[in-house]
Structure 1
Amino acid sequence: MKQLLSTICAVAVAGTATAALADGGRTPITVAPPVVYPVEPETNWTGFYGGIFGGFGPTNVPLVGPLGISIDTRALGLRAGYMHDFGQWVAIGEVSAENTTIPGFPLPAGFNIRRYSIDAMLGYDAGNIMPFVGIGAAQGRLTTPGPSITGSGPSLSVGLAYRPTEHVMLDARVRYTRYSPFGVRLDNTTFTLGISWHQ
């Protein structure tokens, strides 16, 4: 049976080839088009960015032993920076400025609280998602009609950035800063959400 099927197939193939040769090769030979699969473009994080962010968090003032004061704060600010994508890792430098308010405690006229920060961060390139960690320095400033009160200190941050489009970047991060104005320790933890335009 197998031999019979093989013979029939061979005759059919030979007949097709003979027909094609007999008409001078004018019989069209159909070739299946190659299958092309779409390839997701790689996200390149290199470029400048700038945007706005807002958040909230407690500022703790340790007093004596376990005693302390916790003050809820709100933040709204601007940030700008530059990223360089090395392939798997992304180096980031950023500066930011924000205005801080205390819910339920409006500051008198002429008073405001601001924070200025500079950060160096390292991110992991996972496509259009990038987790990152950072270390930096910040200065908190209470401006009054008289002299201003300032306090500076180190900060640590961890977050996640997401690029839904080529030029839009969303991010969420947690930032911890320790200030020491006049020798008084202030521990601030801020949770922020931001949106930026990416070059």
Structure 2
Amino acid sequence: MSLRSLVIPALLGSSLATSAFAGGLADPVTPVPLALPPAAPVAGEWTGFYLGGQYGTGHLEEVPNGVDENGAIYGLHAGYMYDFGDWVLGGEVDYDWTEIVDEGAIDGALDYIARAKLRVGYDLGDALPYFTAGMAQAQFSDPGIPTISDTGYFYGLGLAYKVRPNVLVGGEYLRHEFEDFDGTGLSPTIDTFTLRA
């Protein structure tokens, strides 16, 4: 038997053994977790119908004739809003009964103020500051005089806040202006501030 016949099988055997164990003693490869960017804040969803009530105070003024009266107001509102992302548009109707009485130039109680509103607000998540404007109708009555009513306009600011997904609270200030109220020559202004839910 030659040396050559002994060396070649030995070399082949060691080569095969090395191949069989290659990588067998190496440390296992652990995948590195990927760092994901933080999620962007999700804007609040304001789309939908709503219904509620309000309570507050009103101030009636008619400057040339010295009318300057205050009283409570309370009522109901209903509307619809649509959330476009940053901006929220909507429409609303509301009705307020009042306890404002004037015994001077207007001579009567302010029975009610009814409004048709347009609203535009900016979505801050759970808070919605907004501007509102539209048409208003008011009525005065007194047992001794005919009832008078007229239509004017109003504008104002408000803030709604979500305390729960389906519960909103807020406040609203409105300025109402009327010209030549029902042909009387009087031009009263009415400021209202209400808390709403």
Normalising by the residue count of structure 2, what TM-score does the alignment of the two structures yield?
0.72
Gaps of 5+ in 2: 1-20, 104-108
Aligned to 2:123: 125
Q: Could you tell me how far 1:184 is from its partner in structure 2?
A: 1.0
> Is the contact made by 2:88 and 2:122 (CA closer than 8 Å) also made in structure 1?
yes
Amino acid at match of 1:21: G
Q: Name the CA distance, whole Å, in 2 between partners of 1:97 and 1:57.
A: 13
| Residues 73-111 of structure 1, C-alpha deviations (whole Å, 9 max, x = no match) | 2100000000011111111100001100038x9xxxxx7
Partner residue of 2:62?
61
The question of whether the paired residues in 2 share the 8 Å contact of 1:112 and 1:144 is answered with: no
- Corresponding position of 1:165: 164
Task: Give matches, 1:13-162, under 5 Å.
Answer: 21=24, 41-63=42-64, 68-102=66-100, 113-143=111-141, 147-162=146-161
Post-superposition offset of 1:69: 2.1
- Segments of 5+ residues of structure 1 without an aligned counterpart are 1-17, 106-110
Distance (Å, rounded) in 2 between the aligned partners of 1:55 and 1:78: 12
Question: How many Å separate the matches in 2 of 1:28 and 1:42?
Answer: 44
The answer (yes or no) to whether the contact 1:54–1:76 under 8 Å persists in 2 is yes
Distance in 1 (alpha carbons) for counterparts of 2:185 and 2:63:
12
Distance in 2 between residues matched to 1:151 and 1:57, nearest whole Å: 18
Q: Which has the larger radius of gyration?
A: 2
Distance in structure 1 (CA, Å) of the matches to 2:110 and 2:159: 30
- How many percent of aligned residue pairs carry the same amino acid? 30
d(CA) in 1 for partners of 2:60, 2:146: 22
4+ long deviations beyond 6 Å:
27-39
Residue in 1 aligned with 2:176?
A: 177
C-alpha RMSD over aligned residues: 2.9
**Which amino acid in the other structure matches residue 64 of structure 2?**
L
Q: CA deviation at 1:183?
A: 2.5
2:195 partner letter: L
Q: Report the Cα distance in structure 1 between the residues aligned to 2:95 and 2:31, rounded to whole angstroms.
A: 63
Shift of 1:119: 0.7
Deviation at 1:148, TM superposition (A): 2.4
Which residue identity does 2:46 align to in structure 1? W
**Shift, 1:134, TM fit:** 1.2
CA distance in 2, matches of 1:28, 1:100: 80
